[in-house]
Amino acid sequence: MRVYLNASWFSRGINRVIFELYRYMPDDFVIADDPDSADLVVLHINGRHDQNVQRAQKIKSLGHKYAVIQYVLASCRNPDPLEWADLWDDAKVVWSYYDLHKWIPLLYHAPLAALPDKFYREDVEKKYLIGTMGVDPKSECFNEARLACFKAGGKMVHVGKKFTEDPIIDFVSEIDDDELRTIYNQCQWFSVLRRADGFEMIGLEALLCGVRPIMFDTINYRRWYNNFAKFIPEKTVGDTVRDLTEILKGEPSEVTDDEIAEVKVRFDWKTIIEGFWNRCRY
C-alpha cells in the first residue's frame, strides 16, 4: 500500500509523530511522494473542520482512502463531535486520545508517546522552578506560569518565541533534542497547561527526565496521566495563578524510577504506531 503522510508541518510535535510513522511503517507499505498517487493519505487534524473535509472529499474523489489523527478537538472552531461526523465516518481509522467511541465505534483510542532514548534524567542543577513551551501565551498559560513563578520567588524557562522582557525568564528557541532534554532536567516542574486541549507529549518528555508535569484536570488528560501529573482545575486566569503559586511554593513532587519505567511501557511509540498501521490495512 502506498501511503502519504502529509509531512510538511511547522509543529515540532506533529513532525515527531510523522517520524515515528515512518520508523514503524510495515514492510509492505511504501511512501508516496504526493497525495494523488497514494492509496492512503494520513490527515493530521489540529485545526479547521471545513478545510480538512475538503481534503478528504478530494481523496475520496480519486478513489483513495484516508486515515485521521485527531490531535485537538475542544480548541477547534467546531468542538462538537457531531460536526466531525462527515470526516470521521468515511475514514479508514480515526486515532485520538479523546474517548470518541460514542461517535466512532472503531476509534483507535491511544495517546501519543515519548522517546526514552532521547529524554532521560541528567545530573544538572535545577535552575528553574517551572518550564513552559509553546507559541500561544494565552491558551498555553504562559502569563499564569510567569506570575506564579514570580510570586513563588523562582526562575522560569520558556521554550519558544520570546513574548516579553522579564528578568526571571530565560527564553530558548531553535534547539535540538539534546538541548531540550537538559532544559527539562533543569526544571522542578513543567507546565503542560493547555486551555481546552493541546499536545500532551511535552509532559511525557518531562516525566522521562524525572520532572513532574502540571496539567488541567480534564477528562482527556486524566484518562492517560492520572498517576503521573499534578492536576489543577481549568478555571479563570486568577484561579490558575493561585493554584500554580501554591504548587510552586511547595516541595517538588519527585518522579520515581518506577514511574518512569511505567511511562516507558504505557507510552511506547512502537506499540502505539503498530496498532495504528494495523487498522489502516485493507
Domain boundaries, the chain: 2-113+269-280, 128-266
Residues 207 and 201: their CA atoms lie apart, in Å, by 10
The per-residue pLDDT for 7 is 63
The per-residue pLDDT for 46 is 86
**Residue 132 is placed in which grid cell?**
513552559
Per-residue pLDDT, averaged over 168-180, amounts to 96
- Identify the band that residue 48 occupies on the pLDDT scale cut at 50, 70 and 90: confident
The per-residue pLDDT for 282 is 66
Q: Are 86 and 50 in contact (CB under 8 A)?
A: no
3-state secondary structure 264-278: HHHCEHHHHHHHHHH
Q: Are 64 and 33 in contact (CB under 8 A)?
A: no
Give this prediction's pTM.
0.93
Tell me the backbone φ, ψ of residue 144, rounded to 5 degrees. Answer: -60, -45
**Residue 182 is placed in which grid cell?**
537538559
CATH 3.30.2000.20, domain 128-266, yes or no: no
Residues 6+ apart with CB under 8 A from 229: 192, 203, 212, 213, 214, 215, 221
The per-residue pLDDT for 279 is 95
49-67 residues labelled b (16+ CB within 10 A) or e (exposed): beebbebbeebeeeebbbb
Residues 6+ apart with CB under 8 A from 24: 269, 270, 273, 274, 277
* C-alpha separations of 78 from 82, 86, 89, 101 in Å: 9, 12, 16, 18
The number of CA neighbours under 13 Å toward the Cβ of 255 is 29
Angle, alpha carbons 282-73-107 (nearest 5°) = 30
The per-residue pLDDT for 8 is 65
Q: Are 96 and 107 in contact (CB under 8 A)?
A: yes
Share of the chain above pLDDT 70, in %: 99
Span 221-271, pLDDT tens digits:
999 999 999 999 999 999 999 999 999 999 999 999 999 999 999 999 999
Tell me the backbone φ, ψ of residue 31, rounded to 5 degrees. Answer: -85, 130
Which amino acid type is present at position 143? N
Per-residue pLDDT, averaged over 98-118, amounts to 95
Span 176-217, pLDDT tens digits:
999 999 999 999 999 999 999 987 899 999 999 999 999 999
Q: Which helix (H) or strand (E) holds 60?
A: helix 49-61
